[in-house]
Amino acid sequence: MKFSYNWLRDLVDQLDAPPHELSQLITIKTAESEGVEQHGNDSVIEIDNKSLTHRPDLWGHYGMAREVAAILGRKLVDPVKPAQFPGAAPVRVSIEDHTLCPRYSALVFENVTVKPSPEWLQQRLEAVGLNPINNIVDVTNYVLAEIAQPMHAFDAAKLLGDEIIVRSARAGETIKTLNEESYTLDPSNLVIADPSCAVAIAGIIGGADSAISDSTTRIVLESANFNASSVRKTSSKLKLRTDASMRFEKAQDPVNTIRGLERAFALLQEVSPGIRLVGGLADNYRPAPVSPPVVLPLDWLDRKLGRAVPAEEVRRILESLEFRVEEIAPRVFSVFVPSWRVTKDVSIKDDLVEEVGRMIGYDSIPPVAPLTPARVPPASPEREFHHRVREMAAAQGFTEVHNYSFISEEMARVFSVDLSAHVQVSNPIASDQNLLRTSLLPGIWKNINDNARHFDQFRLFEIGRAIHPDREVPHFTAAFYAKDDGAAALFELKRLAECLLPGVSIRPAGTTQSYEHPRRTGDVLHGESNVGRLFEFHPRMIEGGRSAVLDLDLTRLMQLQPTPERYQPLRRFPESAFDLSVLAGPRALIADVQSALEKLAGDGLLSIVFLREFALDDGARSLSYRLTVGAPDRTLSAEEVGAVRSRIIDGMRSAGYELRI
């Protein structure tokens, strides 16, 4: 938001603080200034918009001038001169829903001459980032920038009849606006209409068909107030933000509509000599209930601030900000909040503490150590477990990624999920982010394809929530990509699964999804519990190379974690290890072969590790395992180890397997 220093000087009597000093004072007392820049013979103070969202009155120079006057102890100069608009109004205003449009005021002028604005007016607008158009439009923009009241001028000759209607748009209704764009509306959008069609999108932008042109001689001048939420939703849905919508979104003061017309009336007489007012004021207004005064005990205020503030100073500060103050008991004030602060900003006594605190300066409050004893926050087992999983994955060489929870309908279809199973986003920030993800796979898949363009091999993982209409499920999803040697991807992820949950096994999936490899997909089991999925992406899903994915339900993973084992002393006697290679068919399962070896090895087996797989020319596969055997009370002799090895070989041959010895 840009504020002209010269403009502020017109509104604050004897403003002598230099622009840079004033900028610093505004930052300390009111809103964050982002700096001062020179614009011709003027200085422009740039205020961060985010620091003004709770202050609708500060979206105009007069509101900021009020703050400056209070800070410096100067007199505020009101640019609006009261005016009378007697006589019958030449237009009627109908409002369909007063909650969406609390007030709509309008005046009609004739004998209008459309021409360029005077240089001083153009310079003021340009200083605050507004483009001069013509004298009529420039007056509406001047009032917007000065007192934060958006206005709009219609060419009266282009309106049908003498009735202005504020209503909801009809389903499918279209309007071409001043930015030369056409919009299709629905009943959630509020419009200004004549009896035939919509002529403006309420609070946002006017229609092109009723715009002011060089031939305009009669105008309808609108000064209205619209519901902040309604304007914001329409603006977001249409992806259309304007200077008017930004102000209405902050909940403007309905009282300001008449002030806007009074100020515009004076300016129009100056920039369009000969202009005449036709009839009186059209004003459809349903006042909101009057807000009760806020009772402010000064002893309570002192405790809240942490220092004593004299009653006279509290009164002076509040009255300089145009609050009305009455003393209703010793050291108790009744504070009447002005209309421009009651819409969004001040409603309770704590708000008044802020007003006093910022004006006396927070640096004047002596620092005091907190009296509340420090306590260690309660432990979160879920968070601690997620942290452990994160560390284990990182130790295995995986890099953590973070993806948005939003996905597109197209992405949902890629991963074979019915759209009805997704939570729909009411106001998506982009058209391709209108659903909440039910799986971490879409994001991981995109990460794989993006990184595959730059790296030949990488490992990724994400910890996040899969969001369903009735629940959120924490997931751990890891991916291994290799451009050339992708056969090891599944085994690397299987090893990671075994690290995260000892005792897991992989069983072929009964059915596969379209994105999964039909022969390289399995369920991750722990006993009879399914904790996730291990699969290789279908070749058409990956742009070159191969990639496998491990997707685990973190809640199930946490529930199945083994209890801490008792300490076991180190083995006193050495172990013996030997390797075996088993020839198996193309569809034989590594887990089945390993299970057969374990049974034949008997109680002396300490561990069995799958080493590697080789494909043979005849289509068979050579599966290599390392078996470690031992006894708790002695060192096994070579004959005993040989006997175990022979028993396994004979048993495997009896089971139909061939061994390479």
Element (H, E) at 280: strand 276-285
Q: What type of residue sits at position 539?
A: P
**For the chain, domain boundaries:** 2-72, 92-285, 294-361, 381-559, 576-660
- Those residues whose C-beta lies under 8 Å from the C-beta of residue 565, and which sit 6 or more positions away, are none
Nearest to 167 by CA among 248, 114, 226, 247: 226
Q: Which residues of 487-506 are buried (b: 16+ CB within 10 A; e: fewer)?
A: ebbbebbbebbeebbeebbb
The amino acid occupying position 439 is S
**Which of these, 314, 316, 319, lies nearest to 331 by C-alpha position?**
314
Q: What amino acid is encoded at 106 in this protein?
A: A
Taking the model in full, what pTM does it have?
0.67
Closest listed residue to residue 65, CA positions, set 296, 340, 281: 340
DSSP label of 186: -
Q: Tokens 């002011």 identify what position?
A: 212
Element (DSSP H or E) covering residue 318: helix 311-320
Looking at residue 501, the DSSP 8-state letter turns out to be S
Say how many C-beta atoms besides its own lie within 10 A of residue 410's C-beta: 10
Q: What pLDDT sits at residue 566? A: 81
**What topology does CATH give the domain 381-559?**
BirA Bifunctional Protein; domain 2 (3.30.930)
Q: Name which CATH class applies to 576-660.
A: alpha beta
CB-based contact 657:596 (threshold 8 Å): yes
CA 118 to each of CA 11, 109, 115, 121, 141: distance values in angstroms, whole numbers, following the listed order: 20, 20, 9, 6, 14
Planar angle of CA 582, 587, 590, nearest 5 degrees: 45
pLDDT of residue 163: 96
Please spell the DSSP secondary structure of 201-240, one letter per residue.
ETTTEEBGGG---TT---EEEEEEE--HHHHHHHHHHHT-
pLDDT of the residue at 419: 79
- Using alpha carbons only, what angle is made at residue 155 by residues 150 and 157, rounded to the nearest 5 degrees? 150
Tokens of 521: 């997909």
Cα separations in angstroms, 580 against 524, 593, 621, 637, 652 = 26, 11, 13, 19, 11
Write the CATH number of the domain with boundaries 2-72. 3.30.56.10
- Ranges in the chain, pLDDT < 50: none
- Where does 92-285 sit in CATH, by number? 3.50.40.10
Q: 2-72 with 294-361: one CATH topology?
A: yes
Residue with tokens 């982009």: 430
Q: What is the pLDDT of residue 199?
A: 97
- DSSP-assigned states of every residue in 451-493: HHTT-SEEEEEEEEEEEETTEEEEEEEEEEEESS-GGGHHHHH
What is the pLDDT at residue 661? 67
Q: Which residue in the block uniquely carries the two structure tokens 């028993």?
A: 647
E strand residue ranges, 67-195: 92-95, 103-110, 151-155, 163-168, 174-176, 182-184, 190-193
* Neighbour-count burial of 29, counting CB atoms closer than 10 A to its CB (0-12 exposed, 13-18 middle, 19+ buried): middle
What the block records as the tokens of 235 is 């603006």
- Give the three-state DSSP class for 390: helix
The full DSSP string for 550-596 is: EEEEHHHHHHTPPPPPPP-PPPSS--EEEEEEEEE-TT--HHHHHHH
The span from the CA of 101 to the CA of 190, in Å, is: 9
CATH classification number, 294-361, choose in 3.30.565.10, 3.40.50.2300, 3.90.700.10, 3.30.56.10? 3.30.56.10
